[in-house]
Amino acid sequence: MTQEQKSFPAPSVSPETEEYWEGAKRGELLVRFCNDCGSPHHYPRSICPHCGSDNTEYRKVSGNGEIYSVSVMWRAPIPYALAYVTLEGTDISMMTNVVDCDLKSLEIGQKVKVKFSETEGDGPPVPTFTPA
């Protein structure tokens, strides 16, 4: 069931997103929330893309979610699953890979949980997901 895993290029870290990646290093999935409209968003920005407020902060979320959509890239040297996962208790979905799974078994609506994957070089880990 566990198959060879593609490597993950390291994300570039900017001052705007440094805190997010520091959380990733601690194994915490952070989501940026707006303190004015109350809405979460992803990818994280300093200014809320929903209401335009600059009163935003990171909050730790459970790391549970479900697959919104998924496509397995069979043509790649090491096939992998690209997915959007909707985060539990939110209306937001994030792009990710579903790992440590039977690629043929993945379905929309399937429950998954975060599993940080190491990246190349000295970069922070990235949030991937695995079946819950």
Residues binding other proteins (CB under 8 A): 6, 8-14, 16-17, 39-43, 45, 48-50, 68-76, 80, 82-84, 90-97, 108, 119, 126, 128
Spatial separation of the C-alpha atoms in residues 98 and 118, rounded to whole Å: 14
CA 36/CA 45 separation, integer angstroms: 14
CB 70 within 8 A of CB 111: no
CB of 116 to other proteins, least distance (A): 11
- To other proteins, the closest distance from the beta carbon of 14 in angstroms equals 8
Minimum Å distance from CB 59 to other proteins? 14
97 vs 31: CA distance, rounded Å: 18
Distance, CA of 29 to CA of 121 (rounded, Å): 21
Tell me the sheet residues that pair with 72.
81
* Residue 2 or 40 having the CB closest to other proteins: 40
For the CB of residue 2, give the shortest distance to other proteins in the complex, in Å: 18
Residue closer to other proteins by CB (options 92, 114) is: 92
